[in-house]
Amino acid sequence: RQANLLQLISVMLLAHTLILFAGWFRLSFMLNTTAAFYAGVQPFLLGALYKSIAAAVIVYALRKHIWKSAVAN
């Protein structure tokens, strides 16, 4: 079963969330949690959103081609 576009975007956003959380968690040992969020998460939120959408659209557009190539080999 292939994922629809919304599912792909959700998975990409979840991955970015985990990465940003790890950065925030590490920074929170050196800064307070609020400062760590503003320094290590907030500047990257918009970029993460755009990258998640772009990656999901690309995977969604190429999924049939990728599947055919994988099955042929």
The neighbour count for residue 9, using CB atoms within 10 Å, is: 20
Q: What is the pTM of this model?
A: 0.77
15 φ, ψ to 5°?
A: -60, -45
pLDDT tens per residue, range 23-72: 999 999 999 999 999 999 999 999 999 999 999 999 999 887 776 766 66
Supply 43's token pair. 């500047």
